[in-house]
Amino acid sequence: MTKTKLKSYLGGRWQEGEGEGEALLDPATEEVLARASSDGLVRPLALEFARTEGGPALRALTFKQRGDLVQKTAALLQKNRDELIDLSMANGGNTRSDAKFDIDGAIATLQAFAEIGAAIGDKRILVDGEAIQLGRAPRLVGQHVLTTRRGVAVHVNAFNFPAWGLAEKAAVALLAGIPVLTKPATSSSLVAHRLFELLVEAQIWPKGSISLLMGRAGDLVECLEGQDCLAFTGGASTASLLRNTPGVVLRGTRINVEADSLNAAVLGPDVSPDSETYDFFLKDVLRDMTQKAGQKCTAIRRVLVPEALSERFRDDLADRLAAVVVGNPRTEGVRMGPLATSSQKATVLEGLSLLARDGRLVHSRPGLKPEGVPKGKGFFVSPTLLEVEPGADAPSVHSHEVFGPAATIVPFDGSAAQAVELVSRGAGGLVSSIYSEDVPFVSETMLGLAPFHGRLFLGSAKIAELSPGPGTVLPGLVHGGPGRAGNGEELGGERGLAFYMQRTAIEGSRPVIDRILKQEGA
Ligand code: NAP
């Protein structure tokens, strides 16, 4: 495996940053895998190259043609899937199953947007709704249309999904016809770098339409202009810095933020512990706590269980957590790997001590000895389950996201009103879930929670066999959430294209508007 300094792909060529660069590690063993530096790279030139070379080339293509390129990208990833999975295991501390979740998620998202491109067809603009008659006579109408913005889409990604995070943003932007500059999180950027090497070698995309900045962002975001779009995934404090950059504040750079979220799962009072729905709930909570060592923006952090069931649920979950083997993802039998970095480990441990002030520890393994790891190495944290007293205030549980293998049981009185009150203390989330067969309970809880969430998952025995659970983000459904979650919205099928396009109301004579739209294939 390479230990070289990884280059950025900017201005249509590979460019090396100055200095030694930052180390990219294997978080299970702390072995240095490669280095990355962006020092000395000139961001404004790279952005201008994308705007002037990539933009026109992409806009010359129709949605269908761009969809074909997205499909070729998916096929390229599929062809190199095994290599990408290995890199994701090495640089992300992912188990094979976690790594597949990332790589296969990327492929599936690309395929979904390729299909959307094919369905839209040979058009370059989108018509939004029907023409509206504006005057007394039908010949004066207003028609909304969407055209591609003339800037560049800068994508700043989080460390936890190096492939999916990159692909879910890039697929939408490229299909919309805007060039992309991706900045992966430095610590886990080996996968993004290899993906770009493959893409550049395969020459799928026109020159200037894809760029990669390895290493720190530097002044990248400060250089954005009014037609540019910035899509960010990461922590709320970084989001707040980005929202206050001159492009966003003064020049109208569009920004979309996917940030923290205290996702909740609610068990309905109708669910008996020997039912299929209870089992489904238990499995989903267990999976969200341990998959990717809990480093999933959509993972369940607060588990609302009716008081009468909380003891039984606590014991069932604790038993299952105790059986999870933690260690080096390459070791046979390991089900949960390490956290991605030493600083994530420190932040998670700090967060856990904060949560512990609100309640008591139900499951944790002090002195955890991860399997297959040199003594003292790796950024491992034990799966940790906490519980608060019924009716406790628990301020940290409802306001502090611990981005690791942890969750807190919050007993409640079994009413929809209290479930809504407790979950909405999270102040806006990506996804929450309700597991119940009682439709009036589901309906009241769902309607109460909807304004606080981008997605709600209704779990019941009827869908248990079919469902990937609330933690899986799907390309056809919106991803994002209000308030704490950043107020952003991504994906959602064709809806996602609108972020990279300008909606314009065209007012005029119907025959003229119709002729223009026909000419554009719209
Ligand atoms: P972070 O520190 O905010 O980093 C996220 C990205 O921002 C990285 O690429 C980072 O680059 C970059 N960055 C940092 N400072 C920057 C600056 N001043 N200008 C431009 N870019 C900058 O987040 P994190 O701690 O790595 O990620 C964990 C957080 O992400 C969690 O709190 C989680 O809630 C959130 N998350 C949300 C979602 C979602 O979809 N809503 C998904 C995953 C994670 P470097 O790596 O080079 O510093």
> Could you report the per-residue pLDDT of 227-270, keeping only the tens digit for each?
999 999 999 999 999 999 999 999 999 999 999 999 999 999 99
Decide if 297 is catalytic. yes
> Are the beta carbons of 257 and 296 closer than 8 angstroms?
no
Q: Map residue 117 onto helix, strand or coil.
A: helix
Q: Whose CA is nearest to atom 19 of ligand 1?
A: 217
Contact (Cβ atoms closer than 8 angstroms) between residue 490 and residue 168:
yes
Token pair 């509206």 in the structure block, residue: 132
Residues lining ligand 1, Cβ inside 6 A: 156-160, 183, 185-187, 216-217, 221, 233-235, 238, 241-242, 258-261, 297, 401, 403, 430
* Helix/strand/coil for 293: helix
Compute the CA torsion angle 163, 164, 169, 175 (nearest 10 deg): 90
Distance 235 CA to ligand 1 centre (A): 5
Contact of 162 with 33, CB cutoff 8 Å: no
pLDDT for 2:
47
C-beta atoms surrounding 514 within 10 Å: 14
Domains of the chain plus CATH, in order, are 44-259+487-519 (3.40.605.10), 264-478 (3.40.309.10)
- Which amino acid is it at 70? V
Residues paired with residue 304 on neighbouring β-strands, in sequence order: 266, 410
41-62 pLDDT tens trace: 999 999 999 999 999 999 999 9
Q: Which of 187, 189, 233, 432 to mutate to test the pocket of ligand 1 (most atoms within 8 A of CB)?
A: 233
**Residue 214 Cα to ligand 1 middle (Å):** 14
Contact between residue 181 and residue 152 where contact means Cβ atoms under 8 Å apart? yes
With tokens 């009468």, the residue in question is 308
C-alpha dihedral (339, 344, 350, 354), degrees to nearest 10: -80
The phi and psi torsions of 108 (rounded to 5 degrees) equal -65, -35
Query: What is the Cα gyration radius of the chain?
Result: 24
**What's the CA gap between 435 and 444, in Å, rounded?**
13
What was the pLDDT predicted at 520?
A: 82
Give per-residue pLDDT as tens, 73-107: 999 999 999 999 999 999 999 999 999 999 999 99
On the question of pLDDT at 4 being above 60, the answer is yes
Confidence of residue 352 (pLDDT cuts 50, 70, 90): very high
Cβ atoms 417, 321 nearer than 8 A: no
Judged against a pLDDT cut of 60, whether residue 343 lies above it is answered with yes
Q: How far is CA 505 from the centre of its chain?
A: 32
Q: Which of 22, 258, 401, 490 is catalytic?
A: 258
Which among 169, 123, 178 has a CA at the least distance from the CA of 148? 178
Tens digits of per-residue pLDDT, 433-488?
999 999 999 999 999 999 999 999 999 999 999 999 999 999 999 999 999 999 99
d(CA 477, CA 496): 9
- Strands of the 22-25 sheet, one edge to the other: 5-6, 32-36, 22-25
